[in-house]
Amino acid sequence: MADEQDKQLKEPSASLVSRLEAAIGKENVRTSKMERLLYSHDLAPLPNLTQLGFMNVPDVVVRPKNTSDVQKIVQIANEMGVPITPRGASSWGLGGSMPVFGGIVIDMIGLMNKIIEIDPDNLCCVVEAGATYKSVYDACLAKKLLLGSYPSSFPSATIGGWIAKDGVGIGSYKYGGPGMNLRSMEVVMPDGSVVNTGFRDVSDNSAGYNLNALQVGAEGTLGIITKVTLKLYPAGEVIKNVAYSFDKLVDIAQPLWDITRSKIDPLHLAFSDGAHFEFLRKAGKHAPEVGTILNVAFEGDKADVEREEAIVDAIVAKYGGKKMAPEVGQHEWDERCYEFRAREVGLGAIPGEIVVRLKDFKPVTEKCYSLLNELKLEGAIIGIMCDRNTVMFMPYYFLNTDSLLSLMNYSYNKKTSDLAYLHGGRPLGFGAFFASNLETIRGKDSANHMKAIKNALDKKEIMNPGKLLEMKTRYGIGLSPKIFEMAMDGASIVKKAIPRQHEFEDKADVYEAERAKKGHDGH
Ligand SMILES: Cc1cc2nc3c(=O)[nH]c(=O)nc-3n(C[C@H](O)[C@H](O)[C@H](O)COP(=O)(O)OP(=O)(O)OC[C@H]3O[C@@H](n4cnc5c(N)ncnc54)[C@H](O)[C@@H]3O)c2cc1C
């Protein structure tokens, strides 16, 4: 594997590097081996074996200072036919911001992270695409203005990254996802032109093709978002999260049904099972000893929040749930963006995000558990309501990247996506991992329609190639859904055959001993 890595770390093209340096400054063009390796994966740590299939180490990493720099980089990439991969905080896990064919990684979080303006008169803010959700949220709240929704990775996730991925997150239930919370974007297109997708102060209704919608969820395959105008809302008097406990995760199916069918409009509905809290406790974190928690966050003026809370209290009581102490609700809210703290024991945590119909909550929950069990994975289930009928399950499992066998664990993600199809849903997003799924998810004609848009806008296929539209290896060979399926089925057979590992338990023990020692030494 070291040979394979060295092959990937061949010297980048001198002419590419010198053109980039002349365009945006030598200090913003990085070619050291260490930096290139750092930018070769995203949240999901990848076994080195991946490099046999994908050239995931970039040749060059660039840090633009402004839109003009991004434009120059894209023009050079276009002229030289070099792939370019946009990257925010790289906190997504399907290889979206990981290069597949080497080339240029464009780091949007480094220098393009400024809040340009907060405008209370027009209820909007203008920010650079690399600004983190948290920085924007905090700055707006200080002016009594609320950002509608944000991912639970908001301390690090960038505005451009979440829009490009079109995720679901905190506040999506009430205010919609990232696409519903923006007015306009500035995007550098694959030919280097700069496009404004909407209007700063007013909505984009009746204004021709919806260019905002075209970029939302494009996963950086149609251009690089450089600036965004986000909608803002007046902040209410209160944001209050209430935690309700239940014995088992399936027990919350009916309460969720009643809440979503009532006229109340909570900010956020989220759930976590007992295994999730157990992992946290084993990793030394404070977490309740409970079978399942349903969190309901209310937002608005005091009287509205009290009225909605009373309605949810009654629904929960009707189905045998218990209202927990206010401190638990507050703790859960404070921790809403740190659900993977148990990784601190020294393992990766891989989520398998799927969306399904709410009416299928029970069978999907049961199957997610039985798959974790069949594949002998140490995992748990958390999730949220995306809207009144869409539930996002995020089962996750721990993964040890030092072990080649860990690759087999990814078959869980394929199995859960099959489960989602059965229940009117799908996995969330494509990236590199699910790029062969486009036709399965959208149907042949819609998939071809999307490919035609890509071909028209990115003739040289330089913009984040090998993602979303087609899974391709570093040799340019497309991987059909059949091959992907066979590979994943094979992986699941191997995983079932090998003895159950207790890596989390083992690592947690070592971690606990180390912490005890540090405590003993006074560190
Ligand atoms: C603890 C944790 C919690 C999470 N919670 C959520 C959640 O609640 N909801 C959710 O949806 N996801 C969640 N995620 C996944 C991920 O954090 C989000 O999708 C996040 O918005 C990605 O932002 P990023 O800046 O890290 O983007 P990256 O991971 O860097 O990139 C994501 C995609 O966008 C593209 N991209 C990045 N920047 C640009 C740009 N400026 N222009 C064009 N394309 C671009 C990349 O090429 C890639 O395809 C979570 C992850 C973690 C680790």
What is the 3-class SS of 500-513, one letter each residue?
CCCHHHHHHHHHHH
Q: Which long-range contacts (CB under 8 A, 24 or more apart) does 287-290 make?
A: 288/243, 288/245, 288/324, 288/328, 290/245, 290/324
For residue 166, the ligand 1 atom closest to its alpha carbon is 11
Q: Within a 10 A sphere around the Cβ of 121, how many other Cβ atoms?
A: 6
How much distance in Å is there from the Cα of 63 to the middle of ligand 1? Answer: 18
Q: Whose C-alpha lies nearest to ligand 1, atom 15?
A: 92
Query: How far apart are the two ends of the chain, measured CA to CA in Å?
Result: 38
For residue 159, the ligand 1 atom closest to its alpha carbon is 25
Q: Whose C-alpha lies nearest to ligand 1, atom 28?
A: 90
Whole-number percent of the chain with pLDDT over 70: 96
Quote the pLDDT of residue 8: 62
8 Å CB contact between 162 and 169: yes
To test the pocket of ligand 1, the residue of 132, 153, 182, 471 to mutate (highest count of ligand atoms within 8 Å of its CB) is: 153
* β-pair type (379-385, 390-399): antiparallel
For residue 32, the 8-state DSSP code is -
Beta strands in 326-466 (DSSP E): 348-351, 354-357, 379-385, 390-399, 426-427
Q: What is the pLDDT of residues 241-257, one digit of tens each?
A: 999 999 999 999 999 99
How much distance in Å is there from the Cα of 41 to the middle of ligand 1? Answer: 13
Quote the pLDDT of residue 193: 98
How much distance in Å is there from the Cα of 350 to the middle of ligand 1? Answer: 14
Rg, the chain, Cα only: 23
How much distance in Å is there from the Cα of 497 to the middle of ligand 1? Answer: 34
Bridge partners, 238 (sequence order): 300
Bridge partners, 465 (sequence order): none
To test the pocket of ligand 1, the residue of 90, 92, 162 to mutate (highest count of ligand atoms within 8 Å of its CB) is: 92
Q: Within a 10 A sphere around the Cβ of 247, how many other Cβ atoms?
A: 13
Output the ligand 1 site: residues, CB below 6 A.
Answer: 42-43, 85-92, 96-97, 108, 129, 151-153, 157-158, 160-162, 164-165, 167-169, 219-220, 224-225, 339-340, 464
How much distance in Å is there from the Cα of 66 to the middle of ligand 1? Answer: 21
8 Å CB contact between 136 and 158: no
How much distance in Å is there from the Cα of 151 to the middle of ligand 1? Answer: 8
CA distance 254 to 256: 5
Which two three-digit tokens encode residue 185? 């974007």
CA distance 43 to 45: 6
For residue 428, the ligand 1 atom closest to its alpha carbon is 11
To test the pocket of ligand 1, the residue of 61, 85, 87, 219 to mutate (highest count of ligand atoms within 8 Å of its CB) is: 87
Bridge partners, 485 (sequence order): none
| Torsion sign across C-alpha atoms 286, 288, 293, 295 | negative
Q: Within a 10 A sphere around the Cβ of 30, how many other Cβ atoms?
A: 21
For residue 130, the ligand 1 atom closest to its alpha carbon is 41
CA distance 123 to 146: 9
How much distance in Å is there from the Cα of 48 to the middle of ligand 1? Answer: 23
Residue type, 47: P
- CA-nearest of 461, 467, 371 to 419 is 371
How much distance in Å is there from the Cα of 103 to the middle of ligand 1? Answer: 21
Element (H, E) at 239: strand 238-246
Quote the pLDDT of residue 259: 98
Give the position of tokens 């406790």. 281
How much distance in Å is there from the Cα of 178 to the middle of ligand 1? Answer: 11
Which two three-digit tokens encode residue 265? 């409009």
Give the position of tokens 């299928």. 360
- Can you give the pTM of this predicted structure? 0.94
Q: Write the DSSP assignment of 76-144 as a string of letters.
A: HHHHHT--EEEESS---SSSTTS-SB-SEEEESTTT---EEEEEGGGTEEEEETTSBHHHHHHHHHTTT
Quote the pLDDT of residue 521: 46
Quote the pLDDT of residue 522: 38
CA distance 520 to 510: 15
Quote the pLDDT of residue 518: 79
CA distance 133 to 303: 29
How much distance in Å is there from the Cα of 102 to the middle of ligand 1? Answer: 20
For residue 164, the ligand 1 atom closest to its alpha carbon is 34
Bridge partners, 246 (sequence order): 292
For residue 177, the ligand 1 atom closest to its alpha carbon is 11
Q: Whose C-alpha lies nearest to ligand 1, atom 52?
A: 153
**Residues 491/494/496/500 CA torsion (nearest 10 deg):** -110
Beta strands in 158-210 (DSSP E): 182-188, 194-196
How much distance in Å is there from the Cα of 36 to the middle of ligand 1? Answer: 20
Quote the pLDDT of residue 523: 36
The residues of the chain scoring below 50 in pLDDT are 520-523
How much distance in Å is there from the Cα of 93 to the middle of ligand 1? Answer: 8
Q: What is the pLDDT of residues 406-464, one digit of tens each?
A: 778 889 999 999 999 999 999 999 999 889 889 999 999 999 999 999 999 999 999 99
Helix (H, G, I), strand (E, B) or coil at 383: strand
Q: What is the pLDDT of residues 310-342, one digit of tens each?
A: 999 999 999 999 999 999 999 999 999 999 999
8 Å CB contact between 413 and 431: no
Runs of H (alpha helix) within 189-325: 211-215, 253-261, 274-282, 302-318
8 Å CB contact between 132 and 156: yes
Quote the pLDDT of residue 117: 98
To test the pocket of ligand 1, the residue of 71, 73, 114, 165 to mutate (highest count of ligand atoms within 8 Å of its CB) is: 165
How much distance in Å is there from the Cα of 153 to the middle of ligand 1? Answer: 8
Q: Whose C-alpha lies nearest to ligand 1, atom 38?
A: 161
